[in-house]
Structure 1
Amino acid sequence: MFGKYKPLWKQAPLQSAYDAVIVGGGVHGLAAAYYLARYHGMKNIAVLEKHHIGFGGSGRNTAIVRANQRYKEEIPLYAEGLRLWPELTSELRFNLMFFNCGLLTLAHSEADLSGMRRDVASARFMGVESRMLDPVQCQKLVPELDISDVPEFPVRGAMFHPPGGTLRHDAVVWGLAKGASEYGVHIHSHTAVTGIGTEGGKIVSVETSQGSISTPRLLNAAGAYSSHIAEMAGLRLPVRLCRVQAAVTQPLKPFLNHIISSGAYPCYANQTLKGEVVSCGIMVPAPDLSNQTEPDFLRHQAWAITQLLPCLSGARFMRTWGGLADLTPDMWPIIDGNVPLEGYFTDCGWGDFGFKSGPVTGKYMAEYMATGQCPDILKPFALKRFGQFAVNSDQ
């Protein structure tokens, strides 16, 4: 018989007052709570989640992490985030199942190759390992990759990013929840935020389905639901919803040792430790909050993945899932504090980059909330850039 079940995090009654309230029980919210409690001595913290912990994008993603971004403003954040995973595994005393398999981003035209050369130069200038490969070198890494002229978009080369990899998304959520709870954070699942109280331009309270909470600090880390929370504080965010869909094959003999990605098809894929091949495509507009996948997605993924890996032509998709992504016009997140109210903090708009950036953003957001001073690494992502027309104009 199994022994008595012991929850990873403690259950506590909802208090009438907290030093900080964090809305969103995903990677970003839990990371901010963990770092606030462990490194800034703020023990009286509540994390509020309308559903179960990890319900949103944290539990509905392909858990790929990388730091081969394009711009000097974002590379340092993702690079530090990538280095943080092994450290966090040790610190939390919880196996996050980090698999450092590397990421191969395929090029299918001269334009692709030109853009990747720029990305590689940017990454290497910022100290991030990345390099260009020709088709033969790509096939040496992934022997089953078709580099002939038979596919609709033949492989012309690739950008290889060795530090990239995957984690187990549930393990990340559970590990952070466990760590935060050990330092006194109260985690309240199935607790919906219904209103935000203000007085004299300051946050003073949060109304929930379980009662009212007095607090001087509120972090909106609700992902796809962040716009709704922001409206309660009188703030309209430049965020739209997109849906990311994924499919998983039956378990197969290990053959795909790296993540492969293609913007031309578009799709990306990796093989899990269980042998399943996870395949995902481009984000599509989400007219509602539904997480359902669409039949066209499955048809497209079957075609795209077998163009790149013909060996998968007989494999079966066993299950699918969809997740919601909150996307800004310039595809950069919104990370800000004391806007529009003193004590109101925002961490949202990550699109499909939210999982990669969770712990490192939580680390710096905790510093921001504790000291009131925005860390330099977060300054490029302030909300005011939209009013000043200082957005990332390449998007």
Structure 2
Amino acid sequence: MFSKKKRLLGDNPPLKSTYDAVIIGGGLHGLATAYFLATRHGMTNVAVIEKRFIGFGAAGRNTAIVRANQRTQENLPLYKEALDLWPVLTKELDFNLMFYNCGNLNLAHSEAAVKAMRLQVASAQFHGIESHLVDPQQCKELVPALDITDKPRYPIYGGMYHPPGGIVRHDAVVWGLAKGAAKRGVHIHQGTAVTGINVENGKVASVDTDKGKIHTSRVLNAAGGYSAALSYDFLGIRLPISVLTIQAMVTQPLKPLLHHVVSSGMYHCYANQTLKGEIATGAHMDAWPNYTTQNTAHYIKHQAEALTEFLPCLKGIKFMRCWAGLADMTPDMAPIMDGNDQVEGYYMDCGWGYFGFKSSTVTGKYMAEFMATGEYPEILKPFTLRRFKEHRLMGETAALVSYSADN
């Protein structure tokens, strides 16, 4: 007789009437927070509520790139710690996350872009992050397939090479964190929808779901593209978030030719080669807010033209598969990681745009600390919701603008 296979997450747990914390959203940020609540703070009476299935949203719809070559002093320490965590978690979870620090090469297509990269490199090095400014010939040595002549519409003037960056298998991170959290007693409820958050005397009191009411004093909104609607519909709290579609696609498998992640702000294009040999590539977000996950001919055409401009050897290669996800983008392209002055016990981890995957584990670590202790970690304070009211927007967008200075 064949023995019954043990489920990766164990048996489906019953929905309890009371939890110490409820996390809305079974993506990477929600799962990471649950995992760190259990492992670092001994909080195991925790429920992760997911309307569909874990990894349904942006966690399962990205190009798996990780890096710590952002621009601002607020972002750099966070992303550096996130990069440092991948090998630690691989060992700790006893789960192969397929972290490959192949390096990240950002291309510059103007003198203005080179100057902006020089500032970014200096900022990164100040924070102990390895980053180098490279000239066109050095770009060619890193990626021999690059066209560094004057033939492309936007010739390559140089680049920023970030060796610690690379790729991580996104679905492996979902399953690794979910398994690790469930093993320590966290309840993961898939196929369960949150229908309301109840407040009594200015404090979170309970959460309504389509499977029953949950009494709790802590709720984390980690619902990604649905976080703003959830916050307003259930609590009347408006968040400065626009929901934009972001698209990606992969080519047919090829022999190894792209040994680093390559990106171009001017072309709004980034690419890496997967273990199967496919070229995985993504573009900028759709310019109009929407809640669809549909691909468009416009972006398929854009990717083909952009990629073959600076990687001409890809001409004639076929796209085999495409997908789209929702990006919850704030005006300054920086996230909201905060509690709430109006509702005690309500926490927010949202507004990540297309940067959420890179930071998911370290964010979970600090949001767990925030929820468990009630003390706002210093590393999160720049990302308060209050910054929009006080007109203290982050400067991260300037990095992208500078790449397109002569566009």
1:311 to 310, 313, 316: 313
The equivalent of 1:281 in structure 2 is 283
Structure 2 spans left out of the alignment, 5+ residues: 398-407
Distance in 2, matches of 1:271 and 1:336, equals: 36
Distance in 2, matches of 1:123 and 1:384, equals: 27
- Detail structure 1 runs of 4+ shifted over 6 Å in the superposition: none
Cα displacement string for residues 209-255 of structure 1 (whole angstroms, at most 9, x for unaligned residues): 11110000000000000012211122110100111101100111011
Structure 1 spans left out of the alignment, 5+ residues: none
Amino acid at match of 1:72: Q
Partner SS state of residue 191, structure 1: coil
The equivalent of 2:5 in structure 1 is 5
Shift of the alpha carbon at 1:339?
Answer: 3.6
Shift of the alpha carbon at 1:286?
Answer: 4.7
Give yes or no for contact 1:286–1:324 (8 Å, CA) kept in 2. Answer: no
Give yes or no for contact 1:151–1:307 (8 Å, CA) kept in 2. Answer: yes
The equivalent of 2:369 in structure 1 is 367
Distance in 1, matches of 2:3 and 2:297, equals: 43
Shift of the alpha carbon at 1:4?
Answer: 4.0
Identity %: 61
Give yes or no for contact 1:339–1:345 (8 Å, CA) kept in 2. Answer: no
The equivalent of 1:252 in structure 2 is 254
Distance in 2, matches of 1:393 and 1:174, equals: 34
Amino acid at match of 2:259: N
More displaced, 70-79 or 4-13? 4-13
The equivalent of 2:403 in structure 1 is none
Distance in 2, matches of 1:81 and 1:122, equals: 17
Distance in 1, matches of 2:178 and 2:342, equals: 29
The equivalent of 1:26 in structure 2 is 27
Distance in 2, matches of 1:261 and 1:199, equals: 49
Give yes or no for contact 1:254–1:275 (8 Å, CA) kept in 2. Answer: yes
The equivalent of 1:220 in structure 2 is 221
The equivalent of 1:353 in structure 2 is 355
- Mapping of residues 301-340 of structure 1, within 5 Å: 301-340=303-342
Give yes or no for contact 2:99–2:166 (8 Å, CA) kept in 1. Answer: yes
Amino acid at match of 1:267: C
| 1:272 to 2:240 alignment | no
Distance in 2, matches of 1:336 and 1:180, equals: 23
In structure 2, the CA distance between the partners of 1:225 and 1:286, relative to structure 1 (3 Å rule), is farther
Aligned CA-pair RMSD: 1.2
Distance in 1, matches of 2:262 and 2:302, equals: 17
Distance in 1, matches of 2:204 and 2:169, equals: 35
Shift of the alpha carbon at 1:314?
Answer: 1.8
Amino acid at match of 1:24: G
Shift of the alpha carbon at 1:75?
Answer: 0.5
Shift of the alpha carbon at 1:135?
Answer: 0.6
Distance in 2, matches of 1:312 and 1:2, equals: 48
- Mapping of residues 81-120 of structure 1, within 5 Å: 81-120=82-121
Shift of the alpha carbon at 1:297?
Answer: 0.6
Shift of the alpha carbon at 1:345?
Answer: 0.3
Give yes or no for contact 1:129–1:161 (8 Å, CA) kept in 2. Answer: yes
In structure 2, the CA distance between the partners of 1:394 and 1:12, relative to structure 1 (3 Å rule), is closer
Give yes or no for contact 2:245–2:289 (8 Å, CA) kept in 1. Answer: no
Shift of the alpha carbon at 1:2?
Answer: 8.6
Amino acid at match of 1:169: H
Distance in 1, matches of 2:231 and 2:157, equals: 45
Distance in 1, matches of 2:184 and 2:176, equals: 13
Amino acid at match of 1:5: K
Give yes or no for contact 2:146–2:311 (8 Å, CA) kept in 1. Answer: yes
Distance in 2, matches of 1:209 and 1:123, equals: 47
Shift of the alpha carbon at 1:6?
Answer: 2.5
Shift of the alpha carbon at 1:288?
Answer: 2.6
More displaced, 298-307 or 333-342? 333-342
Partner SS state of residue 5, structure 2: coil
Distance in 2, matches of 1:326 and 1:338, equals: 19
The equivalent of 1:68 in structure 2 is 69
The equivalent of 2:134 in structure 1 is 133
In structure 2, the CA distance between the partners of 1:260 and 1:43, relative to structure 1 (3 Å rule), is same
- Mapping of residues 282-301 of structure 1, within 5 Å: 282-301=284-303
Give the paired residue count. Answer: 395
Amino acid at match of 1:6: K
Amino acid at match of 1:296: H
What TM-score do the two structures reach when normalised by structure 1?
0.98
Give yes or no for contact 2:70–2:396 (8 Å, CA) kept in 1. Answer: no
The equivalent of 1:233 in structure 2 is 235
Cα displacement string for residues 165-188 of structure 1 (whole angstroms, at most 9, x for unaligned residues): 001110000000000001100000
The equivalent of 2:389 in structure 1 is 387
- Mapping of residues 79-228 of structure 1, within 5 Å: 79-228=80-229
What TM-score do the two structures reach when normalised by structure 2?
0.95
